């Protein structure tokens, strides 16, 4: 048996600095450490500031999902200040954030993920030449249109929010804009252009409606073979190629999921409260662990810093959260190895465990029974998981499934805007309050907890999808979801460990999206691995 310690720094294209440390035995990963190497201290910066400072600051945590940061920051204030949000404002917020996700899906797929599909390790596949022809960076026949047209959905964001990235147009009580007729008609035209010229032409090879008629894994297999157009679409090709090169065989992760849900019914969340949140969601929240569904409850979230470069060992609820950074060089001697905290969730009857966030988690939550009439009920991925299990491929397919789904939702919301009604209700700016706002960024559950005292921010904590996924081990030595997903990955070429990239990237973890992100000092890290090897 040969054991090799491999330290990959940097693992690019995960949006930020991610270092991965793995131990490989006989060509298979047997343990893994993911390290967030950068710290910016946004939660510290927010203390003592204007209650609305989060609307400007938190989008800058992550330029990739800044619209999602804005969305949940606005709802954190809505719940703290007990605002009234007009239906139009809820619709515009939904449209804008969903457009950010529609941008992210192709941009992520072609620019960040699919490049690895052209790696020479896959040259043995009979489909390899076709993969290179489509996905090669800059020159691939699908790369160019996919990346360039990904800018279209955020043109719609800019119509309502002024610009993307980094708008702050969602404010407690509504939105800053008041669209005109041509704002709405142009938004519709831009989205239709994007649908025709990328989503249906390149990705699906069929109509949005045809794809969304798939309800099982067998339906998807039959869809691939239904006609030439679908078989040869990027989606059809990806399904065939991913199975040929084995992306469906590794990267499973914990199999336990969290979705905080997103997008509100325009009439059901006019007076946002923490308790009323789940029932008002269109994109459902939910926990799925040990094969059981349960309701998402923000009170059950804790952040563990046992192995994170912060002071303290006690897991804290974000309302009582602390962010006290340590010098990584010193903290390593205490077994700490990442600037990411480890979010954990108290699953009823199970206890605090790591949960995977992201599109697959959302698709699982969408399959839970008892959906209300206004909510997304979509059992497709429960069946895909039952047939195929979680993997790099399943995670990826779940993400891509959301492009036609969210496109349809955005079109419906645009039709529901009443241009003659209100977009904003001026709130009372209470000097005291606690708020919770959450959403689903493209890459998973994202939430803010704000405590306002004496007219300023007393505490502000952000838990990002990247923290859920990339966080290190916790006090009970449970691996974080990406660490768990890396274990079992086959590594063909240790000089070019593309498999690690696939697994990490399948979570689309924008590492800058961890407010606390890491370090990779080779020597100290090796020492830790020797001491802490699981």
Partner 1 sequence: MSSVLWFQGGACSGNTMSFLNADEPNVVDLITDFGLDLLWHPSLGLELGMNARRLFDDCASGEKPLDIFVFEGTVIEGPDGTGRYDMFADRAMKDWVVDLAAAASVVVAIGDCAAWGGIPAMAPNPTDSTGLQFHKRERGGFLGSDFRSKSGLPVINIPGCPAHPDWITQIIVALATGRAGDIALDELHRPQTFFKTFTQTGCTRVQFFEYKQSTTSFGEGTRTGCLFYEFGCRGPMTHSPCNRILWNRQSSKTRAGQPCFGCTEPEYPFFDLMPGTVFKTQKVSGVIPREVPEGSDHLTYMAHAAAARVAAPQWSKEDMFVV
Q: Site residues for partner 1, window 72-111 (CB under 8 A)?
A: 86, 89, 107, 111
Of 5, 50, 297, 322, the residue at the interface with partner 1 (CB under 8 A) is 50
Question: What's the rounded Cα separation, in Å, for the pair 440 and 68?
Answer: 7
Q: Is 512 one of the binding residues for partner 1 (CB under 8 A)?
A: yes
Q: Does 137 bind partner 1 (CB under 8 A)?
A: yes
Q: Does 522 bind partner 1 (CB under 8 A)?
A: yes
The answer to whether 444 and 196 have CB atoms below 8 angstroms apart is no
Who's near 185: CB < 8 A, 6+ residues apart? none
Q: How far is the CB of 270 from partner 1 (least distance, A)?
A: 14
Nearest to 479 by CA among 254, 252, 291, 304: 254
State in angstroms the smallest separation of the CB of 424 from partner 1: 2
Find the shortest distance in angstroms from Cβ 174 to partner 1: 5
Coil/strand/helix, residue 216: coil
Q: Which of 81, 203, 406, 518 binds partner 1 (CB under 8 A)?
A: 518
Taking the least distance from each CB to partner 1, the nearer of 207 and 324 is 324
- Determine which residue in the list 64, 191, 247, 366 makes contact with partner 1, applying CB under 8 A: 64
Q: Which is nearer to partner 1, 10 or 379 (CB)?
A: 10
Quick one: 133 or 426, whose CB is closer to partner 1?
A: 426
User: CB-wise, 50 or 383, nearer to partner 1?
Assistant: 50
DSSP H helices, 367-480, are 380-388, 392-416, 465-470
- Which residues, numbered 286-305, are part of the site for partner 1 (CB under 8 A)? none
186 binds partner 1 (CB under 8 A): yes
Pick the closer one to partner 1 by CB: 163 or 229.
Answer: 163
Helix or strand or coil: residue 15? coil
Question: Which region among 208-216, 226-234, 239-247, 519-527 touches partner 1 (by CB under 8 A)?
Answer: 519-527
Q: Which of residues 465-504 bind partner 1 (CB under 8 A)?
A: 495-497, 501
Cβ within 8 Å of residue 321, ≥6 positions away: 43, 303, 449, 459, 461
How far is Cα of residue 533 from the mean position of the Cα atoms in its chain?
29
Q: Name the minimum Å distance from CB 445 to partner 1.
A: 19
Q: Which helix (H) or strand (E) holds 25?
A: strand 18-25
Q: Rounded to the nearest whole angstrom, what is the least distance from the CB of residue 417 to partner 1 in the complex?
A: 10
Q: Which of 4, 25, 27, 162 binds partner 1 (CB under 8 A)?
A: 162
Q: How far is CA 436 from CA 32, 253, 323, 449, 459, in A?
A: 33, 28, 18, 5, 12
**First and final C-alpha spacing in the chain:** 17
Is the alpha carbon torsion for 196, 197, 201, 203 positive or negative?
negative
Kindly tell me which residue out of 115, 287, 392, 503 binds partner 1, with binding defined by CB under 8 A.
Answer: 115
Query: What is the Cα gyration radius of the chain?
Result: 22
Residues 331-390, interacting with partner 1 (CB under 8 A): 339
- The one among 80, 171, 280, 484 contacting partner 1 by CB under 8 A: 171
Q: Which two tokens stand for residue 24?
A: 């490989």
Angstrom distance (rounded) from CA 340 to CA 508: 16
CB-based contact 388:394 (threshold 8 Å): yes
CA distance 472 to 340: 7
If one asks whether residue 53 binds partner 1 (CB under 8 A), the answer comes out as yes
Binding mask 249-278 for partner 1 (x = CB under 8 A): ------------------------------
Q: How many whole angstroms separate alpha carbon 88 and alpha carbon 322?
A: 36
Q: List the beta strands (DSSP E) in 260-371.
A: 262-264, 281-283, 286-289, 292-294, 301-304, 342-347, 351-353
Q: Does 456 bind partner 1 (CB under 8 A)?
A: yes
* Minimal distance, residue 456 CB to partner 1, in Å: 5
CB of 504 to partner 1, least distance (A): 10
CB of 531 to partner 1, least distance (A): 20
Please select the residue that binds partner 1; options are 24, 29, 32, 51, rule is CB under 8 A: 51
At 290, list the tokens.
Answer: 């040990």
Please identify which residue in 248, 376, 508, 519 interacts with partner 1, judged by CB under 8 A: 519
Q: Which is nearer to partner 1, 158 or 371 (CB)?
A: 158
Phi, psi of 346 (to 5 degrees): -85, 90
Q: Give least dist CB 325 to partner 1, A.
A: 7
Q: Are 528 and 19 in contact (CB under 8 A)?
A: no
């Amino acid at each position: 048996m040969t054991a090799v310690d491999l330290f990959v720094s940097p693992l690019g294209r995960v949006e930020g600095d991610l270092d991965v440390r793995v131990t490989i035995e006989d060509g298979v990963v047997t343990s893994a450490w993911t390290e967030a190497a950068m710290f910016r201290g946004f939660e510290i910066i927010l203390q003592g500031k204007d209650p609305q400072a989060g609307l400007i600051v938190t989008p800058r945590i992550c330029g990739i999902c800044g619209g999602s940061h804005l969305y949940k920051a606005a709802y954190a204030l809505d719940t703290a200040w007990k605002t009234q949000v007009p239906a139009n404002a809820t619709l515009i917020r939904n449209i804008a954030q969903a457009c950010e996700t529609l941008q992210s899906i192709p941009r992520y797929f072609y620019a960040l993920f699919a490049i690895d599909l052209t790696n020479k390790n896959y040259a043995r596949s009979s489909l390899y030449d076709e993969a290179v022809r489509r996905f090669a960076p800059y020159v691939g026949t699908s790369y160019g249109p996919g990346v360039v047209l990904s800018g279209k959905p955020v043109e719609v964001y800019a119509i309502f929010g002024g610009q993307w990235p980094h708008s702050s147009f969602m404010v407690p009580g509504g939105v800053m804009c008041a669209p005109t007729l041509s704002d709405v008609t142009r938004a519709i035209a831009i989205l239709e252009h994007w649908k025709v010229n990328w989503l249906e032409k390149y990705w699906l090879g069929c109509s949005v409606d045809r794809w969304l008629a798939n309800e099982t894994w067998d339906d998807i297999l039959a869809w691939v073979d239904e006609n030439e157009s679908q078989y040869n679409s990027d989606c059809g090709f990806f399904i065939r190629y991913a199975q040929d090169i084995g992306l469906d065989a590794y990267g499973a992760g914990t199999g336990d999921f969290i979705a905080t849900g997103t997008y509100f019914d325009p009439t059901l969340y006019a007076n946002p409260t923490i308790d009323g949140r789940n029932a008002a969601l269109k994109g459902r929240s939910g926990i799925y662990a040990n094969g059981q569904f349960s309701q998402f409850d923000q009170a059950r979230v804790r952040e563990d810093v046992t192995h994170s470069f912060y002071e303290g060992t006690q897991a804290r609820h974000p309302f009582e959260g602390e962010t006290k950074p340590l010098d990584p060089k010193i903290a390593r001697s205490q077994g700490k190895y990442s600037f990411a905290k480890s979010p954990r969730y108290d699953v009823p009857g199970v206890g605090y465990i790591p949960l995977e966030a992201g599109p697959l988690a959302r698709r699982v939550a969408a399959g839970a029974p008892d959906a209300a009439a206004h909510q997304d009920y979509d059992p497709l991925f429960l069946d895909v998981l039952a047939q195929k299990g979680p993997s790099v491929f399943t995670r990826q397919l779940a993400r891509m499934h959301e492009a036609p789904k969210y496109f349809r939702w955005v079109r419906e919301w645009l039709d529901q805007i009443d241009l003659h009604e209100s977009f904003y209700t001026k709130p009372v700016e209470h000097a005291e309050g606690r708020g919770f706002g959450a959403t689903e960024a493209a890459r998973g559950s994202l939430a803010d907890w704000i405590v306002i005292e004496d007219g300023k921010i007393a505490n502000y904590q952000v838990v990002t999808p990247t923290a859920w996924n990339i966080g290190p081990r916790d006090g009970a030595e449970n691996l974080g979801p990406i660490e768990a997903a890396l274990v079992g990955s086959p590594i063909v070429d240790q000089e070019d460990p593309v498999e690690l990239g696939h697994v990490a990237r399948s979570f689309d973890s924008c590492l800058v999206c961890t407010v606390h992100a890491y370090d990779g000092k080779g020597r100290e890290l090796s020492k830790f691995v020797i001491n802490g090897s699981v």
